[in-house]
Amino acid sequence: MREIFTVALDVVLVLTSLFLVLLILMHKGKGGGLSDMFGGGISSNAGSSGVAEKNLNRITVIVSIIWLIAVVLVGFIQRLN
């Protein structure tokens, strides 16, 4: 039973990690950083609206909380072994 739970947590951890990277890359750059180096400053006016940015922030926070819980649970299970 513990092995199934560990595999499930590993899958959740990998999926949330990849999704979190994608969500962070989707955020609009604030300027002056890496986002400008990769062309983020060019389309600063063509970015998402305020509502879309707020929803993206909420989704990012929710996914990061799920990721954090998965990391803590994986560490806890490994400590038990």
User: What is residue 28's predicted lDDT score, i.e. its pLDDT?
Assistant: 78
Give pLDDT, residue 29. 72
How much is the mean pLDDT over the chain?
Answer: 84
Q: How far is CA 14 from CA 28, 62, 76, 81, in A?
A: 24, 15, 17, 21
pLDDT band at 1 (very low <50, low <70, confident <90, very high): confident
Global pTM value: 0.74
CA-based R_g, the chain, Å: 17
**pLDDT tens for each residue of 22-40:** 999 998 777 655 556 666 5
d(CA 50, CA 75): 37
Q: Work out the angle between the directed axes of helices 2-26 and 50-80 (0-180°, nearest 10).
A: 150
Q: What pLDDT, in 10s, does the model give residues 54-77?
A: 999 999 999 999 999 999 999 999
Residue 68 in 3-state DSSP? helix
